[in-house]
Structure 1
Amino acid sequence: MTTADETAIAVLGWLASEPELLGRFLALTGTDPTGLRGAVGDPGFMAGLLDFVMDHEPTLMQFCEATGTKPETVARAHAALSGFRGDTGSA
């Protein structure tokens, strides 16, 4: 069974093999390469990894193809780590 944290760690591992995307992720988050190891396990950072792939469908599909992960698995992990429950509530 894959947990949300495991999915986020898989995204990080995949990004490590994609220098251009990793650079974009680091630039968007303000994280430096040396800070990555210490950030793993931080709920906000883990959610940010999943935000990164979920916010750009081509990136999501690249990750899923490369790792054999279903997009639905990433979406569930994203929802779990970001706290999204799927209800819209009222404004």
Structure 2
Amino acid sequence: MLRKPPSPDNGPGQDPQALALNALGWVLGDSDRAARFLALTGLTPEDLRASLNSPATLGAVLDFLRAHEPDLLAASEALGVEPAVLAGARERLGA
């Protein structure tokens, strides 16, 4: 029996919060990129730690990637998801 591939909206591993947290890990994996993220969002490392599960913070991570296509493409490749799925997670967060 042939299986239909999961859709980006409801497939396994496509939870928008999980995607955003994984994307944050990718962003923070490079010190220059992490510094740019903190500078653009105005977050301090302490603020970031305190608000990791906040939809606003997770949305800021995805907005950061969507605003710079090379980062979006690199993060998507590193996380094994299509760029549209990663970018679309922003709307699904509901923040």
Q: TM-score if structure 1 supplies the norm length?
A: 0.82
Counterpart for residue 26 of structure 1:
38
Q: How far is the alpha carbon of 1:72 from its aligned partner? A: 1.9
AA at the equivalent of 2:68: H
Which stretches of structure 1, 4 residues or more, deviate above 3 A after TM superposition? none
Q: Which runs of 5+ in 2 are unaligned?
A: 1-11
Structure of greater Rg: 2
Q: How far is the alpha carbon of 1:82 from its aligned partner? A: 5.3
Counterpart for residue 44 of structure 1:
56
Q: Which runs of 5+ in 1 are unaligned?
A: 84-91
Q: How does 1:76-91 map to 2 (within 5 A)?
A: 76-81=88-93
Counterpart for residue 22 of structure 2:
10
Q: How far is the alpha carbon of 1:29 from its aligned partner? A: 0.9
Asked if residue 66 in structure 1 is aligned to residue 65 in structure 2, the reply is no
What do you get for the CA RMSD once the two structures are aligned?
1.4
1:52-84 CA distance string (max 9 Å, x none): 00111111011112221211211220121256x
How many residues in Structure 1 have an aligned counterpart in Structure 2?
83
AA at the equivalent of 1:36: L
Q: Distance in 1 between matches of 2:81 and 2:46?
A: 27
SS class of match (2:70):
helix
Q: Percent identity?
A: 35
